[in-house]
Chain A
Amino acid sequence: MEEILALAKKVAEEAEVYTVSSEETPVQFESNRLKNTQYKQSQTVALRIIKNGKTGYATSTSMENARELVDDAVATAEFGTKAEFQFPLEQNYAQVAVFDSAVEKVTLEQMTQLGEELIARITAYSPEILCEAGVTKANYKLNIINSRGGQASFRQSVFVMGIEGQLIRGTDMLFVGDHDSSCHPILKTDELVRTTLRQLELAKRLAKVTTKPMPVIFAPDGVISSLVLPLMSAFNGKTVLEGASPIGNRLGESVFDKTLTMSDDPTIPFKTGSRPCDDEAVPCQRTPIIQNGVVSNFLYDLQTAARAKKKSTGNGQRQGGLPAPSPHAFVISSGKSGFDEMVKSIDEGLIVEQLLGAGQGNTLGGDFSGNILLGFKIEKGEIVGRVKDTMISGNVYQLLKEITAIGNDSKWVGGFLFTPSICCSNVSVASR
């Protein structure tokens, strides 16, 4: 790394070298049986330079071609965008614990046993179900150094366990399942089994749905597959700077229901979205973005913050290219309602757990639409069965203005979102 930095400094005013290396070991089950085990080693080195005030960028999977990497970065800097930020100086980072050496020590045999146990417990309940399961351990190592003396490095361990069951009756296909992730080993299958069996139980009967607006409870998985994607772009400092965020000029205003509070929080220990610093060596922080319905902050990286005359919130993340603002882990504050209580309060409505097709369409404007992959019908305060061939659509800015209840049943979804169930009053539903 030092060699690349030294070479780059000869031809550019400023430079930053970023490396990430990873080892992942997935164990995969298909059709209720162990199918394969894998070991994936990967590494990337990225060089960002500022030459004549402009940004150049090149990446490689090899540390050995320093000269080529520098040449590539110089070639792009000629056309690069004006660098309006400075690399961070050396500084202290808050301790965010995201590494547990116990993850690496989990053996293939243990991982296999976990997968077998998951499948055995689910097929015991429903002998005809076919399951895919995955148990993965991984570790990541990140290093950043820059020409102003700034540096950062940390290791993260990740353990992921998931199951998806498919139950076919005639031509009807039902998909159930759950997954969990942590920086600690997950050595118990109870939680995933409990959720999956509950889904199977509720899905035993089919219920009819009529085309009309009705209240919908978005269960935690439903919140991520329906409501969160539009908010990711709306709170992105870059979208705001461009004037393309519907809430960009409403900082400090009440835009959402006053029961809604949400933050980006990468500082919770041992969560897979947590980390001490971002991909530009800026310390991570908890950033409140909605407080009691009021828009309170947007998320920034160094360059976007400089252009918007703000400070980086430590949200610079690289998805294969230059750092750009991106949330680490959204946390929606829990409410007071029990899930059953929410269900009881509804005369006719739906529960949405999985939505197919979210993220297509005008997410920037807050629109979402999708086919309910897993969801249930509520009639007179009772869950009466699973719904099919049914679409919901709406606009998150309208829906989240009229929240009727927020649950006390928060859970982590996909390692990225900690959310309770959210009940909205008037969602458009179309069915065959």
Chain B
Amino acid sequence: MTDLQTIGQELAQILKRQNADYIEAHLEEGQFSSISYRGKQLESISKTSSIGGNVRALVKGGWGFVSFNDLNNLQEKVALAVKQASFVGKEVSQLAESEPIVETVKAKIKENPLLIPLSEKKQLLDEYNESIWSTSGIQTSNLGYGDGHKKTAFLNSRGSFITQERTDVTLRAVAVAAKDGEVQQAGLSEGSRDDFSPIRKLHKAIKELSQRAVDMLTVPTVAGGQYTVVLDPILAGVFVHEAFGHLSESDFVYENERMKEIMVLGKVFGGPHLNIVDSASRPGLRGSFKYDDEGTPATKTYLIREGKLAGRLHSLETAVKMNEKPTGNARAINYRHPPIVRMTNTYIEPGSSSFEDMIAYIKEGVYAKNWYGGQTSMEMFTFSSGETYMIRNGKLAEMVRPVMLSGNVFNTLMNIDAIGNDLDMNQGGGCGKGGQSPLPVSNGSPHIRIRQCLVGGK
């Protein structure tokens, strides 16, 4: 095996000799395995190993970036990155100061998925698949399991040399029910960082989702329009990620005067009960780490505090250009991409309402649970539920088909009028931005209630 440490030392020497304002390199090696089922059969099982790296250089405000699998001729690759940066650069480089850090960060692995034999993983997936198929009315099923271990080395011209490792496990299960040409599906996503054991505990959830897929065949579709909507912690987590998380990524703001006016600190976005946080320093979650991909230590950042814009997510470049502190949010999905400003673990802090209080005075509303996906264009956003019920006269009523909800960041956050006391984090998500997807993140929230939320429907 190639040794990241040795190649890193060689690269460190090369970086010192370059004529650039700043230069950094990433090396990464990983082992991955995946198992998928379609229908009753195992569909594919595979193992992957990968090694690669990149060099990113800054000259007079311009960036050059070279990524590679071929680890020979590193000198040439570094020189090319500097040449590209010089081609682009016509101004003065601005990059926040950072301390040189030399550290080897070991992962705290609870149950290592890589040490579990394929036969045992397959056994577990067989149980899940049988559980789906034991439900009457199921047409087909879909399971996708993946695990991976990555070791990364980060080094820069300021003298940092950080190695970190992480293990990720994900499982996606989908049950498909069909009858008389109608097809409905229900799914779940679970993810975990440095621990296989959460993947073992899904028997009940998978049984429930299978039944839900069948039940959804016969339930009505909600009529489109505006409703009072209550979101469960999982969907509210997706909501906070889409509705506000992306807007607080400073690369959308730092060179955009109009956005700066909109995103001025102190601006009121919600009621005084609304607090939104992004924190990679909260340990053990999928978006957690000790150092980001520019070697900045992880922080906890209040994006909204008591309803007002309190902070935003930064890389070294966006921070210095906005005269703020780096927050350690520069992340790359892998060595093939440069780090960009990303979320980590994003959540709404708990309030005091109970679920019963929240729905008590709703005459007709929608209770949306679980997630299917979400997307944002900053002002507008959409997110969709995996499971939905009507609320009638203060009580949960009939199940309806899953819905897509949509909002506008400048009024939907303001319309959150109740926040529950039951914060829960969802580990099953992945985030996409700038062609880099899925990046491990987590998001969460307590139950929340939103007035006048737009729901797509018949």
A residues adjacent to B (C-beta < 8 A): 30-31, 34-43, 55-62, 65, 68-69, 72-73, 75-76, 78-81, 108, 128, 130, 166, 168, 171-173, 175, 211, 238, 241-246, 320-322, 356-357, 359-362, 364-366, 369-371, 373, 388-389, 391-393, 428-432
Q: CA of A41 to CA of B81 in the docked complex: distance in angstroms?
A: 13
> What distance in Å separates the Cβ of A44 from its nearest Cβ neighbour in chain B?
8
Q: CA of A43 to CA of B401 in the docked complex: distance in angstroms?
A: 44
Q: CA of A69 to CA of B47 in the docked complex: distance in angstroms?
A: 9
Chain A contacts for B410, CB-based, 8 A? 171
B68 touches A428 (CB 8 A): no
Q: Decide yes or no whether B122 CB sits under 8 A from chain A.
A: yes
Chain A contacts for B176, CB-based, 8 A? 242, 244, 364
Within 8 A of A (CB), among B19-51: 33-36, 38-39, 41-51
Chain A contacts for B119, CB-based, 8 A? 79
Q: CA of A280 to CA of B173 in the docked complex: distance in angstroms?
A: 28
Assess A42 versus B456: contact at CB under 8 Å? Given A172-B379, A173-B379. no
A360 touches B373 (CB 8 A): yes
Q: CA of A359 to CA of B225 in the docked complex: distance in angstroms?
A: 20
Assess A361 versus B372: contact at CB under 8 Å? Given A36-B64, A72-B47, A371-B406. yes
A373 touches B41 (CB 8 A): no
Chain A contacts for B373, CB-based, 8 A? 357, 359-361
**B43, B140, B183, B338: which has the most chain A beta carbons within 10 Å?**
B183
Q: Within the complex, which residue of B118, B258, B452 is in contact with A76, where a contact is CB–CB below 8 Å?
A: B118
Q: Within the complex, which residue of B39, B67, B122, B402 is in contact with A40, where a contact is CB–CB below 8 Å?
A: B67
Assess A38 versus B65: contact at CB under 8 Å? Given A168-B258, A168-B262. yes
Chain B contacts for A40, CB-based, 8 A? 65-68, 336
> What distance in Å separates the Cβ of A116 from its nearest Cβ neighbour in chain B?
12
Q: CA of A428 to CA of B183 in the docked complex: distance in angstroms?
A: 20
Q: CA of A81 to CA of B37 in the docked complex: distance in angstroms?
A: 10
One of B343-351, B380-388, B418-426, B438-446 contacting the partner: B380-388
A41 touches B41 (CB 8 A): no
> What distance in Å separates the Cβ of B110 from its nearest Cβ neighbour in chain A?
24
Assess A429 versus B66: contact at CB under 8 Å? Given A175-B377, A389-B408. no
B140 touches A244 (CB 8 A): yes
Chain A contacts for B46, CB-based, 8 A? 57-59, 76, 321-322
Assess A371 versus B118: contact at CB under 8 Å? Given A39-B66, A360-B404. no
Chain A contacts for B374, CB-based, 8 A? 357, 360
B259 touches A61 (CB 8 A): no
Assess A362 versus B402: contact at CB under 8 Å? Given A242-B38, A356-B380. yes
Q: Decide yes or no whether B52 CB sits under 8 A from chain A.
A: yes
Chain B contacts for A371, CB-based, 8 A? 380-382, 406, 454
Assess A41 versus B68: contact at CB under 8 Å? Given A172-B379, A321-B44. yes
Assess A361 versus B404: contact at CB under 8 Å? Given A108-B87, A211-B225, A356-B380. yes
B49 touches A38 (CB 8 A): no
Chain A contacts for B42, CB-based, 8 A? 79-81
Nearest 7 Cβ contacts at the A-B interface: A357-B382, A430-B224, A360-B373, A36-B63, A168-B258, A31-B255, A365-B183
> What distance in Å separates the Cβ of B47 from its nearest Cβ neighbour in chain A?
4
**B68, B376, B380, B458: which has the most chain A beta carbons within 10 Å?**
B380
Return 16 A-B CB contacts under 8 Å, by A number.
A37-B88, A39-B80, A58-B47, A58-B48, A65-B49, A81-B44, A168-B259, A175-B377, A320-B48, A356-B375, A356-B381, A360-B372, A361-B384, A362-B185, A393-B224, A430-B224
Chain B contacts for A128, CB-based, 8 A? 258
B44 touches A36 (CB 8 A): no
> What distance in Å separates the Cβ of B233 from its nearest Cβ neighbour in chain A?
19
Per DSSP, chain B at the interface is: strand
A174 and chain B: residue at smallest CB distance:
B379
Assess A360 versus B382: contact at CB under 8 Å? Given A39-B66, A321-B36. yes
Q: CA of A33 to CA of B377 in the docked complex: distance in angstroms?
A: 21
Q: CA of A370 to CA of B84 in the docked complex: distance in angstroms?
A: 40
Q: CA of A314 to CA of B258 in the docked complex: distance in angstroms?
A: 50
A354 and chain B: residue at smallest CB distance:
B377
Chain A contacts for B39, CB-based, 8 A? 241-242
B42 and chain A: residue at smallest CB distance:
A81
B88 touches A242 (CB 8 A): no
**B33, B374, B408: which has the most chain A beta carbons within 10 Å?**
B408
Q: Interface 1/0s, chain B 323-357, versus A by CB < 8 A? A: 00000000000001010000000000000000000
Q: CA of A320 to CA of B146 in the docked complex: distance in angstroms?
A: 12
Q: CA of A391 to CA of B185 in the docked complex: distance in angstroms?
A: 22
Within 8 A of A (CB), among B158-217: 176, 178, 181-185
Instruction: Kindly list 20 other residue pairs between chains A and B, CB separation below 8 angstroms, not including A364-B176, A393-B458.
Output: A37-B64, A39-B67, A41-B67, A57-B44, A72-B49, A241-B39, A242-B38, A242-B140, A243-B139, A322-B44, A322-B46, A356-B376, A357-B384, A360-B382, A365-B185, A391-B455, A393-B457, A428-B458, A432-B452, A432-B454
B48 touches A81 (CB 8 A): no
Q: Decide yes or no whether B135 CB sits under 8 A from chain A.
A: no
Q: Within the complex, which residue of B47, B80, B454 is in contact with A75, where a contact is CB–CB below 8 Å?
A: B47
Q: Interface 1/0s, chain B 7-28, versus A by CB < 8 A? A: 0000000000000000000000
Q: Within the complex, which residue of A80, A360, A366 is in contact with B375, where a contact is CB–CB below 8 Å?
A: A360
Chain B contacts for A41, CB-based, 8 A? 66-70
Chain A contacts for B88, CB-based, 8 A? 34-37
Chain A contacts for B403, CB-based, 8 A? 369
Chain B contacts for A65, CB-based, 8 A? 49
Q: Decide yes or no whether B268 CB sits under 8 A from chain A.
A: no
B386 and chain A: residue at smallest CB distance:
A361
B43 touches A357 (CB 8 A): no
Q: CA of A369 to CA of B372 in the docked complex: distance in angstroms?
A: 12
Chain A contacts for B262, CB-based, 8 A? 168, 171
Q: CA of A78 to CA of B122 in the docked complex: distance in angstroms?
A: 11
Q: Decide yes or no whether B131 CB sits under 8 A from chain A.
A: no
A373 touches B377 (CB 8 A): yes
Assess A429 versus B84: contact at CB under 8 Å? Given A168-B262, A357-B373, A391-B454. no
A432 touches B226 (CB 8 A): yes
Chain B contacts for A81, CB-based, 8 A? 41-45
Q: Decide yes or no whether B62 CB sits under 8 A from chain A.
A: yes
Q: Within the complex, which residue of A37, A56, A60 is in contact with B84, where a contact is CB–CB below 8 Å?
A: A37
Assess A34 versus B140: contact at CB under 8 Å? Given A81-B44, A360-B375, A370-B382. no
B404 touches A321 (CB 8 A): no
Q: CA of A428 to CA of B47 in the docked complex: distance in angstroms?
A: 45
> What distance in Å separates the Cβ of B179 from its nearest Cβ neighbour in chain A?
11
Q: CA of A69 to CA of B76 in the docked complex: distance in angstroms?
A: 29
Chain A contacts for B51, CB-based, 8 A? 61-62
Assess A76 versus B185: contact at CB under 8 Å? Given A34-B62, A244-B140. no
> What distance in Å separates the Cβ of B143 from its nearest Cβ neighbour in chain A?
13
Q: Within the complex, which residue of A42, A321, A364 is in contact with B69, where a contact is CB–CB below 8 Å?
A: A42
Assess A38 versus B377: contact at CB under 8 Å? Given A76-B47, A393-B404. no
Q: Interface 1/0s, chain B 114-153, versus A by CB < 8 A? A: 0000110010000000000000000110000000000000
